[in-house]
Amino acid sequence: MEVIEILREVSNKIYENVKDLAGTEHAAGDFGRGAGGDISRNIDIIAEKTVLDFLKEINFPCVVLGEECGRVELSKEPKGYVIMDAIDGSANAVRGVPFFCSSLAFATENKLSSITDGVITNLHNGEMYWASKDKGSYFNQEQMKVHNKDPIYKIVGINTSGASTELMKKLHPIFENHNHTRHFGANALEMALFARGLMDIFIDLRDKIRIQDIAAGYLIVKEAGGLLLDANLNPLDADLSYDTRVSFIAAANQKILDEIMSQM
């Protein structure tokens, strides 16, 4: 089985196992702090267990880097890393807001830039976004590209959850100049929507994003033709460490990037 097929199949299994849980008390059960630093909810644990059980069942030789379970070595001779955010947008999932996803990526080395495969699945409806290196990005069965024309409505995604006063001041001109700013609460799924051409730029400059939040989106955005930069406008890369926190800008093209940057 190709790596991408493994990630797609197990993403479908997550969807089957959690699709009826959103907004229920059962989803919210508290399991203490996970490796990523947030409280692990029952829905997170169920989704992660689905992945770990499947990878064990098929004897996939890898190291799993899970947001809740931490580093799990499934083999003494691993082929690479499975970077897992089994539920991204946990707050939405627990409250029943229909915007949360799973994010799974495979990397051959300890770097974002070595990611070869990524899958983001919308766990409200099962829609799947996926990419393999040099093979393009797909939405279900259709190849997808970022929006590269002048849009009818320019949609600017900005993650401002928990942003500092200083950052909010810096971002303020963007809010003032754009009528259609958006933040939906699941970073990975927002990157997928951007890659599909539904947003023109997506910005998260809070220095809070973990490797698990961004790994699959990293490849999906790039394979869809998007620019993916760090806060200094250099190509985004980072170590796959639990201490890593990144800021990033995903832009459909240089024009919108220049326009937004000139306002900050």
Which spans of this chain sit near Ca ion (rule: CB under 5 A)? 67, 85, 87-88, 213
Q: Nearest distance from residue 252's CB to ligand IPD, in Å?
A: 20
Q: Which is nearer to ligand IPD, 38 or 127 (CB)?
A: 38
73 forms bridges with which residues in the sheet?
63
CB-wise, 87 or 193, nearer to Ca ion? 87
**Of Ca ion, ligand IPD, none, which one sits near residue 208, judging by CB under 5 to 8 A according to partner kind?**
ligand IPD
Residues ≥6 apart with Cβ < 8 Å to 25: none
Q: Between 42 and 90, whose beta carbon lies closer to ligand IPD?
A: 90
11 binds ligand IPD (CB under 6 A): no
Residue 30 or 57: the one with the smaller Cβ distance to ligand IPD is 30
| Spatial separation of the C-alpha atoms in residues 117 and 108, rounded to whole Å | 10
Identify whether the C-beta of residue 238 lies closer than 8 Å to the C-beta of residue 110: no
Smallest distance, ligand IPD to C-beta of residue 143, A: 26
Nearest one of 84, 83, 100 to 21, comparing CA atoms = 100
What six digits make up the tokens of 127? 């829609």
- Site map (CB under 6 A) of ligand IPD, residues 14-53, x = contact: ------------------------x---------------
Residue 262 DSSP class: T
Compute the least distance from the CB of residue 85 to Ca ion, in Å: 4
For residue 59, the minimal CB distance to ligand IPD (Å) is: 28
196, HSE (Cβ side, Cα atoms, 13 Å): 17
Q: Which residues contact 192 (CB under 8 A, 6 or more apart)?
A: 101, 120, 122, 129, 139, 217, 220
Using rule CB under 6 A, residue 159 touches ligand IPD:
yes
Instruction: Copy the structure tokens of residue 178.
Output: 């754009």
- Dist CA 24 CA 94 (whole Å): 7
Q: Match 């790994």 to its residue by tokens.
A: 215
* Number of residue whose CB is nearest ligand IPD: 187
Query: Among residues 85 and 117, whose Cβ is nearest to ligand IPD?
Result: 85
* Nearest residue (CB) to ligand IPD, 209 versus 216: 209
For residue 58, what are the CA distances in angstroms to 3, 9, 24, 131?
Answer: 12, 12, 31, 22
d(CA 238, CA 4): 22
Residues numbered 170 to 199 that lie near ligand IPD (CB under 6 A) are 185-187
Could you say whether residue 85 binds ligand IPD (CB under 6 A)? yes
Footprint of ligand IPD on this chain (CB under 6 A)?
38, 67, 85, 88-90, 159, 161, 185-187, 208-209, 213
